[in-house]
Structure 1
Amino acid sequence: MRININSVHFKTDRKLEDFITEKVEKLSSLYDGIVGSEVILKVENTDSPDNKIAEIRLEIRGNDLFAKKQCKTFEEATDTAVEALRKQLVKYKEKLKV
């Protein structure tokens, strides 16, 4: 699976990219039809400590799945977005069986 990681107005370090890649690749074990994914990392300019945003789009045959989460760290935002996509994938697979 192809994984694109983009950060808006900052440079990600290798450790964060490896973490995101590892988490997103786990989704491919749930469904073989995942073609690729795009991860966009942003920092929102607010006073709130929950200003890190992770947007993940999974490209699957015939459809795209999307999750956007905002948390204190990019790791936490990625974890929650991947969990949301995992639930979406399970629902999508059930829909295909019907």
Structure 2
Amino acid sequence: MTDMDSQTLVEDMGSDTEVRQMTNRIDQVTDTFVKQGVPVIVGEYGTIASDTQSRIAFCKTLSALCHQRGIAAFFWDNGEEYDRVRYQWRTEGLPEALRESIS
């Protein structure tokens, strides 16, 4: 994940600070647009973190924050997470995490 304040690569996601930063950014978008009646779509999101648990945490957290605030968020994948030939998830736990984030 890229730290939105410093634009440096964060190798692992999930610390209180990282979740707070993400929450603050989504809340800014919510206050500026959603609460004013302007629809918001996160057209693509994903992560390049090498740690599987960090990738899952990032996607689950962002998806949940957006869902809770009425923001449409679309997961993007270049084939690393989902095998488009076999129609199978490569990253164990990711589809469950995404489903949990909106329930």
How does the TM-score come out when normalised to structure 2?
0.30
- TM-score w.r.t. length of structure 1: 0.31
Q: Quick check: which one's strand share is greater?
A: 1
Give 1 or 2: higher helix fraction.
Answer: 2
